[in-house]
Structure 1
Amino acid sequence: MLSKSSFGIVSFLFALAASRALPGSSPIKRDVDDYGEPNFYKGFDLSSLKIQEDGGAIYKDTMRGNATRPVEDILEGMNTVRLRLWVNPEIPYDDGYYLSYDLKYVLALAKRFNDKGHHIYLDYHFSDYWADPQHNYAPVAWPKEVAPLAKRLRKYVFHTMQAFSDAGIDLSMVSLGNEIRHGMLWPLGQVDVDVEPRGARIANFSNLATIYSAARKGVDDAVAAGVHKPQVMIHIDNGWNITLQERWFNSFLATGKVKTSDWDIFGFSMYPFYGTAATFSNLRTTLNFIANKYNKPIHLVETDWPNKCSGPDAPELSEPSIPVSAQGQIEWVHCIIKIVKGLPRGLGQGINYWEPAWLNNTGLGGTCQSAILFRADWSEYPERVTGYSLPSVDMFKDV
């Protein structure tokens, strides 16, 4: 039975994956392909899927006669699943329901996708709630001073990674924070890239560097204890903004508390509705700059494109030549893949589409009506809601 709490109360929230085991075979995950080249990670963030399913959502594969199938089987070509983890997500609503991406919840989803052979990309939010440029507050129960906060964070990373290992899940990637342009674990770890002069800007990054270093040491602690070694990511939004990226990483590294060796992968977000400067040209310029300066792998870890976007609140999209449709979703993603794969020395190594199956949050944080890859049918509500796949579910099939 689909409860109001499961589908109605989270619809207002904004927020800011092709390897599949054959029947009867063991799933195989590789960091390189059969020719020894790095895998290209093609993923979807499916963090909300269990909440949807527990509330009664079902998904139909329109390419297979509307057969009811697991979402991960409908999403052709993915080899990676991205899952966000909150610390202590006790967020009550009117009937006592909790939106909960806690460890127990995420372990269940990760086990499901891991057992099907997908890479698991764990997105640490280091918060009880959304972590992004607008919300990045430290967990309420954590210390309020930098040194004990960093110590608590290091232990948290160690223990959570150990929990995944104990569950038989080898994490392929971990992102230490989510879209940390303004830092993380606010207020102590908050930063402003526009602070002047430069010395003051660097000083304002000092706490964040201490905190990030502690999280990285937590990964090292877990690996030293026998946990599978994941690739460590640092994730900033607005991947098209070269000025932001240059100033941010220069300031972060200038603290002297972190080194480029503290992360393995750069992760960036790229959305088309938050400013018309989010163009393919600007993305290409910025990612090439990062690749040439730091010589590290780069993933585009959050993106989407609308299939419906009209009305007085509709935003101006950054690439207006791309149609607002399922075909446009494919075109947008394929253009980004071309940019990422075109980076020098094979450094472009992945892309993730954000929350393609969140049926009651179809706008995914934007003012367009839908950017998901399913058509939501509410005609049988409250018994169930049905997601009918759009052709864009195949966006990774042949890339």
Structure 2
Amino acid sequence: MKILTPILLAVFMCCTSANAQKLYLGGDISLLPSYEKAGVTYCDAKGNPVKPLDFFKEEGWNAIRVRLFVEPDKASAEHKGEGVCQDLNYVARLGQRIKEAGYHFMLDFHYSDTWADPGKQFMPDRWKNVPVQALPDSVYEYTKQTLRYMNEMGATPDLIQVGNEITNGMMWPVAKLTPLGNENWDVLVQLLESGAKACREVCPMAKIIIHTEKAGDWIATKAYYNHLQGLDYDIIGLSYYPMWHRAVGVLAATLDSLAVDFPGKEVMIVETAAYYSHENDRWAKGEEQYGEFYPISVEGQRIFTHELVAELRRHSNVTGLFWWFPEENGSKENSVTDGWLNRGLFDNHTGKVLPAMQELRKFIER
């Protein structure tokens, strides 16, 4: 084997570094300001109080995601009790803190006044009477004005989601669809094109993400992104939750296939989480619900995170991993949400960080 001269070695290392993808590790902390306002205390594993934004960085995070609703004051009381409150001023203030702390900032446009997910993509109240043919212009203007305001506030996003979990379309009923169907794709693509155009114009350095949630269904995922050939975006964003998308091996097959069929696209897991309990969980039907693949326990959550990170490290097309709602912390009376989800990274009784946090940092330690 030839020995590289110092000059050739330097050139090799430089080229290798230039070709390496940047990795993003973080979480969606959209409710953190509400928890801070409520006086909730976050602690490290020894019980010492910590400041979350400082602590996350110590744990290897370099990116933060925040959701944005159009007019969340028009959401139902039930959804407000689940954490719907992120209007433009709220998000701009949080985004400013995120940028000042040195993080990359992912902005998640919901294009709804409330939760947008596979089961609901409600049309924002302000656009309910807008003709279908005018909706792309409405999306363009809203996105453009929002991003201009974020820039002015010192909260320029580095990553932008144009829609949230939109496998079944968005802004129902006009852009409602199914991945394997043929209806309303023209409308959806026009809406996405308008949002992406505004992103490119106002935040030209930001990467655009199209976010779906069928990580456990390759046929649906492939069909969906095939419909977006020609759309201007950079990253395929996936939600992956073991309770809905099965064990990590299913995700692995999807990631392998994405690398083959969409070789020019980065892939990010923009949402993931796993239960460590079902206590005070009004949706749980039993203590072991969703425990088919990973035990509903602190250790089960850690094992899931360990396996997920180990799998993601195998895939060079995967450049990001974000935990959803890591800041959940019910350790103080009069908690921020009605009930607990028990999928965060802090114990709802003590406020102490959970072991899964240590597993997450291994994603970025290459």
Whether these two folds match at TM > 0.5 is yes
Q: Hey, what does 2:241 align to over in structure 1?
A: 271
Contact map agreement 1:83 1:106 (CA 8 A) in 2 = yes
What CA distance in whole angstroms lies between the structure 1 residues aligned with 2:55 and 2:311? 26
Superposed CA RMSD in Å reads 2.8
- How much does 1:238 deviate? 2.3
Q: Hey, what does 1:242 align to over in structure 2?
A: 218
Q: Identify which of 326, 332, 343 aligns with 1:356.
A: 326
Q: TM-score, normalised by structure 2?
A: 0.82
Contact map agreement 1:121 1:173 (CA 8 A) in 2 = yes
What CA distance in whole angstroms lies between the structure 2 residues aligned with 1:326 and 1:35? 37
Q: Hey, what does 1:132 align to over in structure 2?
A: 117
Please list every run of at least 4 consecutive aligned residues from structure 1 whose deviation after the TM superposition is greater than 6 angstroms.
none
Q: Hey, what does 1:19 align to over in structure 2?
A: none
Q: Identify which of 297, 312, 317 aligns with 2:266.
A: 297
1:300-322 superposed Cα distances (whole Å, 9 cap, x missing partner): 111111212588523243524xx
Check if 1:72 corresponds to 2:58.
no
- How much does 1:339 deviate? 2.5
What CA distance in whole angstroms lies between the structure 1 residues aligned with 2:117 and 2:352? 30
- How much does 1:181 deviate? 1.0
CA 1:308–1:186: 2 relative to 1, 3 Å: same
- How much does 1:360 deviate? 4.5
2:210 partner amino acid: I
Q: Identify which of 159, 164, 172 aligns with 2:158.
A: 172
Q: Identify which of 319, 326, 342 aligns with 2:293.
A: 319
Q: Hey, what does 2:186 align to over in structure 1?
A: 206
What CA distance in whole angstroms lies between the structure 1 residues aligned with 2:85 and 2:259? 36
- How much does 1:291 deviate? 1.5
Q: Hey, what does 1:121 align to over in structure 2?
A: 106
What CA distance in whole angstroms lies between the structure 2 residues aligned with 1:130 and 1:332? 26
Check if 1:395 corresponds to 2:346.
no
What CA distance in whole angstroms lies between the structure 1 residues aligned with 2:306 and 2:63? 17
1:218-239 superposed Cα distances (whole Å, 9 cap, x missing partner): 11221xxxx4521000010021
Contact map agreement 1:122 1:175 (CA 8 A) in 2 = yes
SS of 2:327 mapped into structure 1: coil
Report which stretch shifted further, 36-45 or 78-87. 36-45
What CA distance in whole angstroms lies between the structure 2 residues aligned with 1:341 and 1:68? 32
- How much does 1:396 deviate? 2.8
CA 1:210–1:290: 2 relative to 1, 3 Å: same
Q: TM-score, normalised by structure 1?
A: 0.76
Correspondences of 1:1-399 after superposition (within 5 Å): 35-36=17-18, 37-63=20-46, 66-75=47-56, 76-90=59-73, 91=75, 93=77, 99-142=84-127, 143-195=129-181, 201=182, 203-222=183-202, 227-250=203-226, 252-253=227-228, 259-260=230-231, 262-274=232-244, 278-295=246-263, 296-309=265-278, 313=286, 314-320=288-294, 323-343=295-315, 346-360=316-330, 370-377=342-349, 387-399=351-363
CA 1:318–1:215: 2 relative to 1, 3 Å: farther
What CA distance in whole angstroms lies between the structure 1 residues aligned with 2:345 and 2:155? 27
1:153-207 superposed Cα distances (whole Å, 9 cap, x missing partner): 1011111111221122331110100000110111111112343xxxxx1x43111
Identical residues among aligned pairs (%): 26
Q: Going by fraction, where is helix more abundant, 1 or 2?
A: 2
What CA distance in whole angstroms lies between the structure 2 residues aligned with 1:56 and 1:285? 43
SS of 1:83 mapped into structure 2: strand
Contact map agreement 1:306 1:368 (CA 8 A) in 2 = no
CA 1:117–1:327: 2 relative to 1, 3 Å: farther
Aligned residues: 331
Contact map agreement 2:210 2:233 (CA 8 A) in 1 = yes
What CA distance in whole angstroms lies between the structure 2 residues aligned with 1:271 and 1:306? 10
2:199 partner amino acid: V
What CA distance in whole angstroms lies between the structure 1 residues aligned with 2:297 and 2:22? 29
What CA distance in whole angstroms lies between the structure 2 residues aligned with 1:390 and 1:340? 21
- How much does 1:61 deviate? 2.0
1:186 partner amino acid: W
CA 1:51–1:368: 2 relative to 1, 3 Å: closer
What CA distance in whole angstroms lies between the structure 1 residues aligned with 2:355 and 2:62? 18
1:343-399 superposed Cα distances (whole Å, 9 cap, x missing partner): 2xx2111111110122249xxx9x99622111223xxxxxxxx62222323233343
What CA distance in whole angstroms lies between the structure 1 residues aligned with 2:243 and 2:277? 13
CA 1:124–1:67: 2 relative to 1, 3 Å: same
Report which stretch shifted further, 351-360 or 232-241. 351-360
